[in-house]
Structure 1
């Protein structure tokens, strides 16, 4: 077999794990930290440094390829898995996953993922392990076949070689004004996220949020290059529902009002409300979307919370309960499932947004780019971290390098033909 050893290395995620419930309940921000006691199990403080675990696969030629495990920023919230525990993940990988890796044909990516990531004691493997191991296996297949990771995905899913770049979406973190300026100057396709994750940022009746939306649009016109008109994408972490109420009609009315304040821009509203369960989310988001579409609104609803796994994504896509589905890569698990999720969205004519988390690493971000480009997703997140510059550079440069290699491959094939 191609893999002769497995090595593990503890590491850092690019941002922090945050206790979303404590923040929603009114935890006060004190400079960069949050004051008060955590409420979500596993958290020793409301904000703690993100950790990761790298899994390295040693090949017969002594090449070592890597994948990175981690969980998302708001672990333990919105139906997601618990906080990442490096020691537990390391022990589980060594005892359960490593023997499987040493006994698999790594040249066949999907088949290898299926065998290595099969359930253990009738339970699915931790999603962080699925995520990291599937990255490493994808790099192994690319190394064996002397192809890019994107080409491996295209071959496995019978897709044509991609030709189009995927729009990139940046997130601002709390340094919103400075980072919005950075995004505009760099002509980011989709911006700014905004981190509207507290009552303070949303405001009474959503007034503070509305003012921020108007400011972003005005700033874009003020300092953006001529003709630059990005999609304006705001993640409100359920605060429309919390402040306005959970009636779909009221939520749709508010979203229309937001869109009307910035005519000429396409508006994405992510996580307008949290209805408490996947099924309730599907039913109520479908109602909100029906109202918006009937009014011809430019606003688009993006689902995140309660839509985590491939099965969740299938349910939302088939019910048309979102204009755009965030495929949050660490929550989906295997990168093979991220590819399947994009194709499933396309099949149901729903937008596919390959997202993830600020807690990820350079390696997981680069692998996600290959999935996004291979499947021709509708947009992808600049990650990891919250600093704009680094994430936009990592994702943007990886995409540009990939497209350049694919152009060369295409030209070579035409010349040979």
Structure 2
């Protein structure tokens, strides 16, 4: 089954692009917007409407496979690729990428995805085409968002051609045995961290609530805001949760906790604080994502390792999650090899092709680091559905509910896609009865 044509359509994503540096440096909210000037290159405002670029691959039988190029909310921060502009990359997809894929066998997912992964960076030309050159990316490859979206379409194309689920197609390419039950879903609350958390509890979400503690104002001058929130959350989980509910509490602090506590991170003042979080959580496990932002990968690994070792020595049962400066497959490997985290977030848009995210999850197998297949609120339904199959194919430790910050919609999208895929992969009731 050949790929006949490639189209690219500018679309919208599920949330916004935010200038993380400006927010962490004290930008104040004005309603839903932010006052002040952006500081990260590429931003015209601190908060901008998110963008996506839909890629459609038309196959020779007339079927169409779809993927969405999209980038993380905090683009350009923590070593990530710069802000993604859909119109800028449309001619790249319909030029450079289309030329590489047109006429290819759609069933050859791994080979096709590798071809896209190896394409050089390109920029638009005046005639609407694309040419090689420096487009401002942090590498000499296509923007990660482009590789991400095209790989989604390639995975669906192969699944359509093979008449199977994307989970089966990817598992076959990886040589893995897929999960037989849905991967635990991690809900994200956005700034509405109380109401949305209660929604999660009532629905029995396995991992919650993210919390979006991205400023000292939210976290508290001494971290007291986070501690009080964890205590409230544990109480509400008992009051509102279904019978036997045993969630994992996972909060993201965007490096701000490091600003509050300060290095070195193995000293008693730091480990004691983490101990208060564990106590506030009561019977529930706690995970803290992005405890500090050291400004570079090696520095981040050093400080995360220092914190993890300090917590272990003090007997504090709080897991730490790598996010900042853990963007590419090579980054994931470095964090895992150093033992710098209990979990690494595999931030799907930052790794490029979905096969790269799958490989990063698999790299954690056999280590004491678990893989969290994450991403961003600023994705789309299409990318979220595809990632549900990546989670199943790799049997990740947890996966993110996305897109958007309303919680309910993203939880529905990811949960239902996994349940449908698993149902398709099991024998039908009729076949079982016939046997």
TM over 0.5: yes
Aligned residue number for residue 370 of structure 1: 389
1:253 to partner: Cα distance: 3.2
Q: CA contact under 8 A between 1:161 and 1:406: conserved in structure 2?
A: no
Q: Is the 8 A contact 1:236 1:271 kept in 2?
A: yes
Q: Which moved more, 1:301-310 or 1:208-217?
A: 208-217
Pair 1:337-2:351 in alignment = no
Q: Secondary structure at the match of 2:345?
A: strand
1:199 aligns with 216
**Number of matched pairs:** 416
How far apart are residue 38 of structure 1 and its match? Answer: 1.1
1:243 aligns with 2:260: yes
Q: 4+ residue runs of structure 1 moved beyond 4 angstroms?
A: 409-416
CA 1:414–1:321 in 2, change beyond 3 Å: closer, same or farther? farther
Secondary structure at the residue paired with 1:214?
Answer: helix
* Aligned-pair CA distance for 1:157: 1.4
| 1:54 match | 54
Contact 1:246 1:275 in 2 (8 A): no
Paired residue for 2:249? Answer: 232
C-alpha distance after superposition, 1:346-382 (max 9, x if no partner):
1323100000000000000000000101110000000
Match of 2:88 in 1: 88
Does residue 69 of structure 1 match 2:88? no
Match of 2:368 in 1: 349
Alignment match, 1:34:
34
Residue 157 (structure 2) aligned to one of 131, 140, 147: 140
Post-superposition shift, 1:43?
Answer: 1.1
Q: Cα distance, 1:411 vs. partner?
A: 9.7
Distance 2:166 2:392 in 1: 10
Name the structure 1 match of 2:114. 114
1:27 deviates by 0.7
2:272 and 2:109 map into 1 onto residues whose CA distance is 47
TM-score norm. by structure 1 comes to 0.96
Deviates more, 1:118-127 or 1:240-249: 118-127
Distance 1:312 1:133 in 2: 22
After the TM superposition, which residues 190-339 of structure 1 pair with which residues of structure 2 at under 5 Å, given as runs? 190-250=207-267, 251-339=270-358
Inter-partner Cα distance in structure 1 for 2:356 and 2:232: 38
1:379 and 2:391 equivalent? no
Offset, 1:386? 0.4
**Secondary structure of the structure 1 residue equivalent to 2:284:** coil
**Superposition RMSD in Å:** 1.8
Structure 1 counterpart of 2:183, from 141, 166, 182: 166
Deviation (angstroms), 1:414 = 12
* Per-residue deviation, 1:24: 0.5
| Cα separation, 1, equivalents of 2:29 and 2:417 | 35
Q: CA deviation at 1:228?
A: 1.0
Equivalent residues of 1:232, 1:268 under 8 A apart: yes
Alpha-carbon shift at residue 199 of structure 1 (Å): 1.2
Aligned to 2:126: none
Q: Distance in 2 between matches of 1:146 and 1:226?
A: 40
2:137 aligned residue? none
Deviations 1:364-409 (A, max 9, x none): 0000000101110000000000001100100011111111112227
How high is the TM-score relative to the length of structure 2?
Answer: 0.92
